[in-house]
Amino acid sequence: MSRTVFNISRAQQCRQFAAPPGYQAWGSLTSGKFSGGLAKGEVLAHVHHYEGEAPTGPLFLITHPSGPSRTLCTISAPPDVAGQQKEREYTVHGPTGDYAGRIVHGRSPCGIRQAWRMHIPAGTQAVAGYKGSLRGWFTYWAALPLWPLFVLMGLLHDGGGPSTWMWDKPARVTWRSRPRGLGGALMRFTSGYSLFTWDTERLDASLTHAQAVLYFASVSKGN
C-alpha cells in the first residue's frame, strides 16, 4: 500500500497565478503539511473556479503548475433545478478528457451526516466518506448548551467571543469502500491541517484530487 499526503491552500499567496479565460485562481494543491498561511512543499497543481453563476464549461479546472494549458482534470456539475436536488452529482475527466468517474454529494444511509461518494468506472462499489466522526458530532452537540457560557466568559475576559473553532462543525472524513467499509481507509481529510492522504494504488489521482477540491470547497470560508 502506497500513501501520499497533500494539502489544499486557499491563502492569497496561493492564488497568485494565471487562470484561463472565464475562470479565477481559486487555490493550490501542495505536497507536505500545512504551516500557517501556506503549505510547505512542492506545488502539485493549481485550481481554477468558474467565474459565472451558471457554468457553460467545467466548474473547476485543476491544472499543472507550469501553466493553465496543461489540464490534470476537470470537474463538471449538472445544473441545479431550483436548488432542490437532494443529491449533487459531479463528473470528473482526466488529462486527456477521459472519464475518470463521478462524485455524488448527498446524505448517509441514515440521513444524519453529509456523504461524499466516489464512483470509480471499473469498480462495483462506491468509495464513501461521511462528514465528521460519530465522536466528533457527539462532542459538538454535547457542548452546544455551554456556548452561551463560553461567549459570556470571552466577553468578560477580553471583550471578544470564543475562537471560531468553537462554532465549526466536525469536518474530518475517512473514505472507505462501501457498503461494508472493508479494506481500510482509502482517503482521509484532517480538518485541522487541511490535509488529505490517499491510497495511490487503489484510487485514481484525478478522482482523488477532484474529491479533495469539492469537499474543501464545501467546508472552507469564502468559497
What is the 8-class DSSP label of residue 154? H
* pLDDT greater than 80 at residue 65: yes
| Amino acid letter, residue 133 | S
Q: Which residue has the higher pLDDT, 13 or 101?
A: 101
Q: Which residue has the higher pLDDT, 95 or 81?
A: 95
| Amino acid letter, residue 220 | S
Radius of gyration of the chain (CA): 18
* Predicted pLDDT of residue 160: 54
* Predicted pLDDT of residue 178: 76
* pLDDT greater than 70 at residue 151: no
State the average pLDDT over residues 145-158. Answer: 63
State the average pLDDT over residues 51-74. Answer: 90
* Predicted pLDDT of residue 223: 47
Identify the band that residue 96 occupies on the pLDDT scale cut at 50, 70 and 90.
Answer: very high
**Which has the closest alpha carbon to 60: 72, 46, 75, 71?**
75
* Predicted pLDDT of residue 170: 82
State the average pLDDT over residues 139-143. Answer: 68
> 17-26, 132-141, 174-183, 193-202: which range is least confident on average?
132-141
State the average pLDDT over residues 58-63. Answer: 96
State the average pLDDT over residues 93-106. Answer: 94
* Predicted pLDDT of residue 135: 75
* Predicted pLDDT of residue 188: 93
Residues 9-36 pLDDT 10s = 887 777 889 999 999 999 999 887 655 4
Q: Where are the beta strands (DSSP E) in the chain?
A: 3-9, 23-31, 34-35, 38-39, 43-50, 60-63, 71-76, 88-93, 99-107, 114-119, 127-130, 173-177, 187-190, 195-199
**Which has the closest alpha carbon to 5: 36, 45, 41, 48?**
41
DSSP bridge pairs for 35:
38
Q: What gap in Å lies between CA 32 and CA 30, rounded to an integer?
A: 7
Identify the band that residue 154 occupies on the pLDDT scale cut at 50, 70 and 90.
Answer: low
* pLDDT greater than 50 at residue 100: yes
* pLDDT greater than 70 at residue 149: no
